[in-house]
Chain A
Amino acid sequence: MNGGDEVAAAPAGPPQSLDWKFSQVFGERTAGEEVQEVDIISAIEFDKTGDHLATGDRGGRVVLFERTDTKDHGVPRRDLERMEYPIGRHPEFRYKTEFQSHEPEFDYLKSLEIEEKINKIRWCQTANGALFLLSTNDKTIKFWKVQEKKVKKISDMNLDPSKAVGNGSIASSSTPKHCLANGGSPDRSYNYLGNDFSFPPGGLPSLRLPVVVTSQETNLVARCRRVYAHAHDYHINSVSNNSDGETFISADDLRINLWNLEISNQSFNIVDVKPANMEDLTEVITSAEFHPTHCNTLAYSSSKGSIRVIDLRQSALCDSHAKLFEEPEAPGSRSFFTEIIASISDIKFARDGRYILSRDYMTLKLWDINMDSGPVATFQVHEYLRPKLCDLYENDSIFDKFECCLSGDGLRVATGSYSNLFRVFGCAPGSTEATTLEASKNPMRQVQTPSRPSRSLSSITRVVRRGAENPGVDANGNAFDFTTKLLHLAWHPTENSIACAAANSLYMYYA
């Protein structure tokens, strides 16, 4: 469970580099197939046990996958949680279900279109075999319950439906509302069943209850349980559950709100960075997450590259932070892009809550929550792009928001890059592990070591070119593709398995 302990317990030296292998792909593109905008994956999240995986896309859909290699219906859930999975097997998933979470909307008051794109998905506590999750687009958070229901058929009614149809209601062959057919208005029929209607003491033998036949067939039903709306003036970038199991936060550019899962018409503003005059605005919130175990601690990142940790115990409105993590700017290195690339696109707590991983445009940084002087480790993700920042700025790629993730044991971190590449770094003390993988069926095709960036640059030349619109070729003839960016990825909570999204395809790897 505890990643930190495992680091300490690791015997001699850093752990071995992992050998990543392709496991599965969902929604793989065939050659030449155009990617539909609505199919592009915009969120990935494993649940706490790692038995389920959810993805959200720009079309507002949520797709659920379930793990197949450990599924054992005979074992109670509690035992499953304690059980160590046998080594040698790697997680395999299969499509479970999907549902339309959000629809495009129009805010008539502000004349604004609200996209249906899913920005974040978070799993909630499972109960009664049903899965629960939160999904959000720019404005509205929804709480979903996904449950298997046995298909039931009703037979043997008191009234013959075919006969009852004749009683005056309009029979519709498409809707099976045959019971409504008992003469049209049910209210009327109750009325002459007044209190004075006396039943014989033994009851009426001719009446019987409907017989429900339960078949073995099951149906997965997704139901929206609650909608948390109208609490955000700006775009929601994060939602995060609290360890208390009853509250969660939602963060937009300027504010963070605290909700109770059961109450959808009320939320509390806990952070507000909106200045009195919007012209004084220098910094926005880019991501926020609760501490995995401390119910009162939450962290949020900003566009200026700082991470603030706040303590909810201190005050109702936590505008003053408890801890600030930022890296002092190296003297003399300032350029036009310094501020833009400093912006943090994602933060994640490690599972034990001791470390925070942050991703800015060029680097991954690992912070010790007990050390606010600077990051304990910095990983260059794609240093070879530094000379090209100007191009990246011009085509807006510099504003791409890459996510990051940590392994369950806290020994490794991963994040995405361009050309459908993603990188895995070892963050245990002394580890030099740095692997580059491509989201394809052959992930290790281009192994690149950070010490030879120029070499690797030429090797990242597998480009999916679509027409002439893609100017991914630099002056040296080296090409990399800005349009195939790998923004979203997630690490399995207990195993070395990564799920990542390349446009509309979900690739899974294991080691």
Chain B
Amino acid sequence: MAMIDEPLYPIAVLIDELKNEDIQLRLNSIRKLSTIARALGEERTRKELIPFLSENNDDDDEVLLAMAEELGVFIPYVGGVEHANVLLPPLETLCIVEETCVRDKAVESLCRIGAQMREQDLVEFFIPLLKRLAAGEWFTARVSSCGLFHIAYPSAPEALKTELRTLYGQLCQDDMPMVRRSAATNLGKFAATVEAPHLKVDIMSMFDDLTHDDQDSVRLLAVEGCAALGKLLEPQDCVAHILPVIVNFSQDKSWRVRYMVANQLYELCEAVGPEPTRSDLVPAYVRLLRDNEAEVRIAAAGKVTKFCRILNSELAIQNILPCVKELSTDSSQHVRSALASVIMGMAPILGKDATIEQLLPIFLSLLKDEFPDVRLNIISKLDQVNQVIGIDLLSQSLLPAIVELAEDRHWRVRLAIIEYIPLLASQLGVGFFDDKLGALCMQWLKDKVYSIRDAAANNVKRLAEEFGPDWAMQHIVPQVLDMINNPHYLYRMTILHAVSLLAPVMGKDITCSKLLPVVINASKDRVPNIKFNVAKVLQSLIPIVDQSVVEKTIRPCLVELSEDPDVDVRYFATQALQSSDQQMMMSS
């Protein structure tokens, strides 16, 4: 056993703990691997630490994951880029473990290192590693290899490039579906590094294999490849090779593949360009909107606005709008909900006339939907439609919808609508709000559920911000303060909370004249919970009001509370007094 000098003691512990029985300590040491490397110096890190890590790769996944991550940024500790290759062996073994997240991290780190390596080192070390993995006995190695080609390929000499392309082609036809899935996932990245002539021949034939795979899970990953490859190809090649594949996929027997198409549709349209989109993808999209499987319709409905943006309004009205009408009465609530969340965005695309004529009835029917999520989604995007048709046309149907949601049985629904009240207020305007919604806001302050009362207090504050203190003085403050006499202490507490939120918005004059007296009055409450909340509120008011008011009104009240029989009241009162002392010291 070596004798260790005192200052080295912690680092010695760190090193020893690389092999501790306790996984937490091992993890700790691995996370500090850079410290260990600095202590050992570059040369010993290369000659001892890295081989040590390569040999000790049968640890728990958490430790291996951390190791894979640390090694990705280890180049400075082994002596810079010219020694980067020493990091490859431990990462190579990590690429073979069976835990996916460890492998993925090792591949990520290898890519990071490979991207910095010198070209000759890539050829000498990185590419042989890639070839070993690609020919690996276990599928885990082959899965990992797929994610490394795009790093190795650009530096490879011509002959090696051909070999790498062949190798990737073999991986696309591997026996194991896991390998083919990885090949499909990484095809786009690899293709981006391949020269145009090979792209059209080699890569496209690999892509072709993948699009005809027996396994649904492989085919649906190939859908993503469509968008990636489409962007690399010349427009005419894209139309010739990718477009038919997309159209085919949109009619695939597997709903999961169609779902992917619906989900990726916008990217696919971008890849093929606007003209082919209009001619070929509109029919495909219409089919997806009318798909038998609700999951596919959900994905398609969610893209309706984005898709229409690519089209002109005429095509949208002609082809898409009829489908939207059908979807608004779809049997699946989730489809309607997805539609409701995006449909408002169609208004600017369709223009005012078409919106009023065609879209408005759909809004209105969705606003009356039996499923609260659908209604909420419409209301949450109200600002978009307001820009096109104005609120007047909507307000008639809007109000009943809001009132119904405001009184919904489920408190989460009520909570959601409260969140949108400030937005609604700004869209509807002061007049409308006063008439119809003001009462609701007060009603929420008396809700049975705490979260609703809490949100309601916040809402009152946001309204005051929206419409200004004068309006609030007239329409909110008196009503709120009235409720301080509620017989139930929980409701009185809500009002105290609202007061503390309103005070900064209302300014010191109104706070002193209207809000403060109410709070001071509440300090005489018979419930201790109210009293210590008074202390808290007073503490929050101190920075807002003048020093003289603090001295004359707030402090005496706090002093009184600090002698209260209840321990909690005394505690919070003392806290408030201390904070007021600090305030004074700072200002003096």
Contact = CB atoms under 8 A, between A and B. Distances in A.
Interface of A: 76-78, 125, 127-130, 132, 145, 149-150, 154, 156-160, 163, 175-177, 179-180, 182, 186, 189-190, 192-193, 199-204, 206-210, 212, 243-247, 262, 293-296, 312-316
Contact of A204 (B20, B39, B49, B252): B39
Bin the interface of chain B by size.
Answer: 35 or more
B226 interface: no
B28 interface: yes
Given A177-B21, A209-B52, A295-B215, A316 B39 contact: no
Contacts of A243: 177, 215
B448 interface: no
Interface string B87-108: 0000000001110100000000
A186 B216 CA distance: 51
B48 interface: yes
B231 interface: no
A215 B266 CA distance: 58
B216 A76 contact: no
Contacts of B383: none
A201 B48 CA distance: 16
A296 B139 contact: no
B295 interface: yes
Given A158-B4, A295-B214, A202 B255 contact: no
B208 to A, nearest CB: 20
B25 interface: yes
Interface stretch (B10-18, B232-240, B496-504, B509-517): B10-18
Closest 8 pairs between A and B when the two form their complex, measured CB to CB: A203-B41, A158-B12, A313-B254, A160-B1, A189-B10, A127-B98, A193-B10, A210-B19
A200 B5 CA distance: 15
26 contacts: A127-B140, A145-B98, A157-B16, A158-B13, A159-B12, A180-B20, A186-B28, A189-B13, A192-B10, A201-B41, A203-B38, A203-B39, A203-B45, A206-B8, A207-B4, A207-B11, A207-B12, A209-B18, A210-B18, A244-B217, A262-B100, A293-B214, A296-B216, A312-B254, A315-B292, A316-B293
A349 B435 CA distance: 70
A202 B140 CA distance: 39
Contacts of A159: 1, 4, 9, 12-13, 16
A77 B137 contact: yes
Contact of B15 (A76, A128, A190, A209): A209
Contacts of A150: 58
Contact of B40 (A154, A192, A203, A295): A203
A179 B49 contact: no
A180 B25 contact: yes
Contacts of A176: 21
Contacts of A182: 9, 13, 16
Contact of A246 (B2, B28, B178): B178
A125 B139 contact: yes
A381 to B, nearest CB: 36
Interface in B34-56: 35, 38-45, 48-49, 52, 55-56
A426 B58 CA distance: 48
A177 B4 contact: no
B158 interface: no
A206 to B, nearest CB: 6
A243 B19 CA distance: 39
Contact of B32 (A190, A207, A244, A313): A190
A244 B215 contact: yes
A313 B96 CA distance: 32
Interface in B277-323: 292-295
Nearest to B18: A210
B19 A154 contact: yes
Nearest to A154: B19
Nearest to B55: A212
Given A76-B137, A244-B217, 12 more contacts: A125-B176, A176-B21, A180-B20, A189-B10, A201-B41, A206-B4, A294-B214, A295-B215, A312-B254, A313-B216, A315-B255, A315-B292
Point out which of A176, A203, A247, A315 has the most chain B C-beta atoms below 10 A from its C-beta: A203
A130 B22 CA distance: 24
Contact of B98 (A130, A177, A180, A315): A130
B13 A128 contact: no
Q: Is the interface of A mostly helix, strand, loop or mixed?
A: loop
Given A78-B137, A163-B1, A295-B216, A158 B40 contact: no
A212 B176 contact: no
Contacts of B25: 179-180, 186
Nearest to B217: A244
A203 B217 contact: no
Contact of B13 (A76, A163, A186, A206): A186
B253 A207 contact: no
B138 interface: yes
B22 A206 contact: no
B256 interface: yes
A24 to B, nearest CB: 30
B545 to A, nearest CB: 45
A173 B40 CA distance: 32
A464 to B, nearest CB: 45
Contact of B48 (A129, A180, A209): A209
Given A206-B2, A295-B214, A149 B58 contact: yes
A260 to B, nearest CB: 10
Given A127-B98, A145-B98, A315-B292, A203 B176 contact: no
Contacts of A160: 1
A158 B17 CA distance: 10
Contacts of A76: 137
Nearest to A156: B1
Nearest to B61: A225
Contacts of A206: 2-5, 8
A244 B55 contact: no
Contacts of A245: 176-178
Contacts of A316: 255, 293-295
A391 B32 CA distance: 71
Contacts of B48: 208-209
Contacts of B177: 243-246, 295
A129 B216 CA distance: 28
Contacts of A204: 8, 11, 39-41
B16 A179 contact: yes
B288 to A, nearest CB: 15
Contacts of B44: 203
Given A201-B41, A313-B253, A210 B10 contact: no
Interface in B157-180: 176-178
Contacts of A210: 15-16, 18-19
Contact of B42 (A203, A246, A296): A203
A193 B214 CA distance: 57
Nearest to B49: A209
Nearest to A260: B217
A316 B332 CA distance: 13
Contacts of B9: 159, 182, 189
A262 to B, nearest CB: 6
Contact of A199 (B15, B39, B217): B39
Contacts of B137: 76-78
Nearest to B294: A316
B41 A202 contact: yes
A374 to B, nearest CB: 28
Contacts of A157: 1, 16
Contact of B20 (A177, A294, A295): A177
A399 to B, nearest CB: 38
Contacts of B39: 199, 203-204, 207
Contacts of B20: 177, 179-180
A230 B527 CA distance: 45
A175 B20 CA distance: 12
Contacts of A186: 13, 17, 25, 28
B259 to A, nearest CB: 9
A145 to B, nearest CB: 7
